[in-house]
């Protein structure tokens, strides 16, 4: 690392954190005006607003726009260096273009590692704060959302292994009790075992479910056998913490926890895991995009143009917009369609990786 490397790296990091702070202030100002009614309804003072919402909202915004912050920072300070002919002087001194890119690679990889570690461990913890406020004070007052859940908001139908299905009505998370429980085991296309209980509760001493007023049916080639029981202890792989309707669950879990959840649900044969899988793969793909956008930014902004920084920023914003659009489209196709979650998370990087390579080869060196 020579003095010129430290000079570029310092400009890179200082400009990035300046963009981070500036856009954060803008995002908080816009968001606070939008949720002012929610804060009043919750009767929060200023400290509670910060602790119970913005301590979770700000890291969420950072994770969402982190690659964009890096991209804008690279274009901004590199364009200023090009306008002052600093890049021309560096290359004219005999420094190869690849050597000139060394501090950019170092800064991009450093920020990518920061985002990678944060998205795996820190940001999910902050998302718990944001999700609790969102579900308690915003989602509950959404008439569209309440209309969708009005039929049975506390009903669950789960597949707990490859041939066993359970249904639960009116589950209370506080008392861990429910009514209208049934369990069915299927062989081929036929139900060979059926279990129904009028009420069900979680026994904390046995760590098992206890059923009351039970009807048990076994069906085989001989016929149907029915047994009536007052109580029954049921060992089931479904635990109380899994009986919750949480639309923000994938955002609140750390990457090891999310990976374990996906693995467990796959073993059960659960469908509709695409959104969780996309989130899992994206926590690795997004940090890689930081490095790619760093390379694209320096290639775009290192050429001295008559329009100056304005032209570079316009080109950069157009490229960033295309990247975000491609990422959103691939995610929708994976969640709503049959698109591979792995390909959905990595497709923008594959496309813009090719764009970065093409631009690098064409840039004057």
Give the ranges where the chain is alpha helix by DSSP (H). 3-34, 36-42, 46-49, 55-83, 86-92, 97-100, 102-117, 123-133, 143-149, 249-252, 255-268, 274-301, 309-336, 341-362
245: enclosing H helix or E strand: none
Least confident window among 182-186, 232-236, 304-308, 343-347? 304-308
DSSP designation for 54: I
Which is higher by pLDDT, 70 or 221? 70
Strand order in the sheet with 190-203: 156-161, 164-172, 177-187, 190-203, 208-219, 224-234
Q: Over range 87-95, report the average pLDDT.
A: 85
**What is the pLDDT at residue 319?**
79
pTM for the complete prediction? Answer: 0.79
**What is the pLDDT at residue 86?**
86
**What is the pLDDT at residue 154?**
66
**What is the pLDDT at residue 152?**
61
Nearest C-alpha neighbor of 284 from the set 123, 120, 59, 124? 120
User: In Å, how far from its chain's centre is CA 151?
Assistant: 29
Average per-residue pLDDT for the chain:
84
Nearest C-alpha neighbor of 312 from the set 68, 83, 7? 83
At 359, the pLDDT band (50, 70, 90 cuts) reads confident
Residue pLDDT, tens place only, 14-62: 999 998 999 899 999 998 888 888 888 888 888 888 888 899 999 999 9
Q: Percentage of the chain surpassing pLDDT 70?
A: 92
Residue pLDDT, tens place only, 329-351: 788 877 777 788 888 888 888 88
**What is the pLDDT at residue 116?**
94
| Domain spans of the chain, in order of start | 3-141+272-362, 154-244
**What is the pLDDT at residue 148?**
46
Residue pLDDT, tens place only, 98-153: 888 899 999 999 999 999 999 999 999 999 998 888 878 877 666 555 544 445 66
Residues in the chain: 365
At 214, phi and psi to the nearest 5?
-100, 145
Residue pLDDT, tens place only, 160-198: 877 888 888 888 877 888 888 889 998 888 888 999 999
Residue pLDDT, tens place only, 261-274: 888 878 776 667 88
Query: CA 293 to CA 66: how far, in whole Å?
Result: 11
Joined tokens for residue 297: 């930014």
**What is the pLDDT at residue 10?**
92
Query: CA 304 to CA 87: how far, in whole Å?
Result: 9
**What is the pLDDT at residue 355?**
85
DSSP designation for 141: G
Cα–Cα distance list, 78 to 87, 148, 299 (Å): 8, 50, 9
Residue 81 pLDDT exceeds 90: no
Query: CA 163 to CA 203: how far, in whole Å?
Result: 25
**What is the pLDDT at residue 337?**
74
């Amino acid at each position: 690392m020579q003095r010129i490397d430290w000079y570029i790296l310092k400009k890179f990091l200082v400009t990035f954190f300046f963009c981070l702070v500036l856009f954060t202030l803008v995002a908080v100002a816009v968001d606070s005006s939008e949720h002012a009614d929610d804060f009043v309804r919750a009767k929060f003072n200023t400290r509670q607003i910060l602790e119970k919402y913005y301590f979770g909202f700000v890291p969420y915004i950072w994770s969402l726009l982190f690659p964009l912050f890096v991209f804008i920072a690279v274009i901004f300070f590199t364009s200023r260096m090009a306008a002052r002919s600093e890049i021309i002087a560096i290359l004219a001194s005999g420094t190869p273009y690849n050597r000139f890119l060394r501090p950019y690679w170092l800064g991009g990889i450093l920020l990518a590692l920061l985002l990678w570690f944060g998205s795996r461990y820190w940001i999910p913890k902050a998302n718990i704060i944001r999700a609790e406020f969102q579900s308690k004070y915003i989602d509950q007052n959404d008439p569209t959302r309440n209309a969708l859940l009005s039929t049975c908001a506390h009903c669950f139908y789960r597949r707990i292994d490859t041939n066993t299905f359970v249904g639960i009505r009116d589950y209370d998370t506080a008392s861990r009790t429910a009514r209208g429980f049934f369990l069915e085991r299927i062989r081929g296309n036929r139900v060979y075992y059926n279990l129904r209980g009028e009420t069900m509760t979680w026994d904390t001493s046995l760590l098992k479910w206890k059923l009351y007023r039970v009807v048990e049916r076994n069906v085989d080639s001989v016929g149907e056998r029915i047994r009536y029981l007052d109580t029954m202890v049921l060992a089931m792989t479904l635990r109380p913490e899994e009986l919750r309707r949480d639309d923000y669950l994938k955002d609140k879990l750390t990457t090891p926890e999310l990976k374990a959840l996906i693995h467990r649900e796959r073993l059960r044969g659960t469908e509709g895991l695409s959104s969780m899988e996309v989130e899992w793969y994206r926590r690795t793909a997004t940090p890689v995009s930081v490095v790619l956008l760093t390379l694209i930014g320096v290639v775009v902004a290192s050429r001295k143009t008559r329009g100056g920084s304005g032209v570079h920023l316009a080109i950069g914003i157009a490229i960033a917009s295309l990247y975000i659009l491609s990422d959103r489209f691939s995610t929708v196709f994976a969640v709503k369609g049959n698109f591979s979650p792995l390909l959905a998370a990595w497709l923008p990087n594959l496309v813009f990786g090719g764009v970065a390579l093409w631009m690098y080869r064409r840039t004057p060196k």
